[in-house]
Amino acid sequence: MASLKVDIVTAERVVYSEDVEAVIAPGIEGQLGILPHHAPLMTILQAGELVVRRGGQEDIMAITGGFLEVRPDRVIILADAAERAEEIDIARAEAAKKRAEERICARGAPGFDPARCEASLRRAMTRLTVAEKVRRRRRR
């Protein structure tokens, strides 16, 4: 079966580097599905779930945004931050969500930045959704 190489990297580390069958990424305009032999492409990613199909299984990751490039033989994702589901610290994401919600509730306070608050809430929610999905699958 045809496969394509996927590299997911941040400024800090290589998060994922495998030969896979498909990538489903949170494009800025919606879900983006990439199979082998996809046409070259460059796009922006938003915070969301990133799914990679490999060997008949799914690897699920949280990504907080970045760039995706499809080359003839590979997909390169430069992520702001990305974690494999099993790396997500749920307590940390819960705390980040609570902080963002508290700031949103206190909107109007000096220095309140709605876009920043919403972005941090979205990052936390993405991490919690991804971690919970994988936990539920494991319980089955």
Residues that bind ligand ATP (CB under 6 A): 12, 64, 81, 83, 87-89, 92-93, 96, 120, 123, 127
Cβ of residue 122: shortest distance to ligand ATP, in angstroms? 9
Residue 81, φ and ψ in degrees, nearest 5: -150, 150
Alpha-carbon gap, residue 7 to 86, rounded angstroms: 18
Nearer to ligand ATP, 20 or 103 (CB): 103
CB 6 within 8 A of CB 16: yes
Nearer to ligand ATP, 68 or 93 (CB): 93
Cβ of residue 98: shortest distance to ligand ATP, in angstroms? 10
Nearer to ligand ATP, 24 or 128 (CB): 128
Cβ of residue 82: shortest distance to ligand ATP, in angstroms? 6
Per-residue buried b or exposed e for 81-118, using 16+ beta carbons within 10 Å of the residue's own CB: bbbbbeebeeeebeebbeebeebeeeeeeeeeeeeebe
Cβ of residue 125: shortest distance to ligand ATP, in angstroms? 10
Classify residue 128 by burial, with Cβ atoms within 10 Å: 0-12, 13-18, 19+. middle
Nearer to ligand ATP, 70 or 131 (CB): 131
